[in-house]
């Protein structure tokens, strides 16, 4: 539910977006009476915004032709959302945009009224965002090219290096670009494979947007496709209890095919893993107590790690330990 000041700003937003808006539509959109809409319009006029009204049946409001509002007018929540969004860019792997984010943040601060500017400055001094170890760096220029291709429904050509494969030249119709579990993916129709495919942006190079266009499928859900196309590993079903709340583990534990639920003052972690040795080493790196409830093979991996640590401490050679991380 809007408060009165938000409703006044909403009237202004609607008038900026449309050449003319009827009083009846404003009343319906804001869930108020036509008389209340008149009061909101009067409030805008008191603020020096030239709102013109046409009386009678089908009466409507519009901004005076040629009138331009200041470039930025934000509520406190909008300013906070923008500032947080700019701070979070590097957490999406877009490190190249950090200077641009700093510049945009400076412009935002200069444009805001004093009270809002103070709130944003407090955010800069008080809020820390810890980067997730799972985030993979992404070329911002490459992402921009793909977004341009999606917007124009243009095919793209690029060099792609899949896991354990040589680089190949691909042509694809990209339907969506999505960020999932620390990585960016482009999802669309691959001309080489003649099938729907996903491409990791960190494995793409030399992207060229082509003049060739296509018709994308309506309401395509790229996240649903990725979850179906990238099934969870099936080798070992893991269940461990961690002496830390779920919120303390988010960002440290990959969320892909991993379930974190509160349990007994800590967190129950359920997942499936192919490589239990690397997962055991990962669990050792968490700064909390761990109890393994399954599988038994994971306990054996911890025993092997213990033996290796003892060997290292005693100065023995480590050649006898085989690692396949």
Percentage of residues in the chain having pLDDT higher than 70: 85
pLDDT digits (tens, 9 = 90+) for 130-184: 555 566 778 888 998 999 999 999 999 999 998 767 889 999 999 999 888 678 8
Give every CB contact of residue 302 below 8 A, 6+ residues apart in sequence: 280, 284, 292
* Longest CA pairwise span in the chain (Å): 94
| pLDDT interval class at 321 (50, 70, 90) | very low
Contacts for 37-44 with beta carbons within 8 Å, 24 or more apart?
Answer: 37/11, 40/4, 40/7, 40/8, 40/11, 41/11, 43/8, 44/8, 44/11, 44/12
Rama region for 93: left / alpha / beta (φ>0; ψ in -120 to 50; rest): left
Give residue-wise pLDDT tens across range 83-100: 888 877 767 778 777 777
pLDDT digits (tens, 9 = 90+) for 21-57: 888 888 888 888 888 888 998 988 888 888 888 765 5
Domains present along the chain, CATH in parentheses: 4-63 (1.10.10.10), 76-126 (no CATH), 141-229 (2.30.30.520), 236-313 (3.30.70)
Report the predicted TM-score, pTM, of the whole model to 2 decimal places: 0.54
Give the pLDDT confidence of 213-266 residue by residue, as tens digits. Answer: 999 999 899 988 987 877 655 578 899 999 998 888 876 776 666 788 899 999
């Amino acid at each position: 539910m809007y408060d009165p000041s938000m409703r006044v700003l909403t009237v202004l937003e609607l008038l900026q977006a449309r050449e003319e808006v009827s009083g009846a539509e404003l009343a319906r959109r804001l869930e108020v009476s036509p008389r209340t809409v008149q009061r909101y319009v009067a409030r805008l006029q008191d603020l020096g915004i030239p709102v013109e009204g046409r009386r009678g049946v089908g009466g409507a409001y519009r901004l005076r032709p040629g009138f331009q509002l200041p470039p930025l007018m934000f509520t406190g929540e909008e300013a906070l959302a923008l500032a947080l969004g700019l701070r979070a860019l590097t957490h999406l792997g877009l490190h190249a945009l950090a200077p641009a984010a700093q510049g945009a943040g400076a412009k935002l601060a200069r444009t805001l009224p004093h009270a809002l500017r103070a709130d944003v400055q407090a955010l800069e001094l008080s809020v820390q965002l810890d980067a997730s170890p799972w985030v993979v760096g992404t070329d911002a220029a490459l992402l921009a090219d793909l977004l341009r291709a999606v917007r124009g429904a243009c095919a793209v050509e690029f060099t792609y290096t899949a896991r354990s494969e040589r680089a190949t030249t691909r042509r694809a119709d990209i339907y969506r670009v999505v960020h999932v579990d620390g990585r960016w993916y482009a999802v669309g129709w691959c001309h080489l494979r003649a099938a729907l495919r996903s491409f990791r942006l960190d494995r793409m190079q030399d992207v060229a947007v082509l003049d060739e266009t296509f018709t994308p499928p309506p309401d395509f859900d790229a996240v649903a496709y990725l979850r179906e196309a990238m099934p969870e590993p099936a080798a070992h079903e893991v269940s461990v209890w961690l002496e830390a709340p779920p919120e303390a583990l988010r960002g440290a534990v990959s969320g892909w095919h991993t379930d974190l639920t509160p349990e007994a003052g800590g967190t129950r972690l359920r997942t499936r893993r192919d490589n239990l040795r690397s997962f055991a080493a990962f669990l050792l790196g968490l700064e909390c107590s761990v109890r393994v409830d399954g599988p038994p093979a994971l306990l054996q991996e911890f025993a092997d790690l213990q033996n290796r640590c003892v060997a290292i401490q005693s100065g023995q050679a480590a050649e006898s330990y085989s690692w396949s991380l």
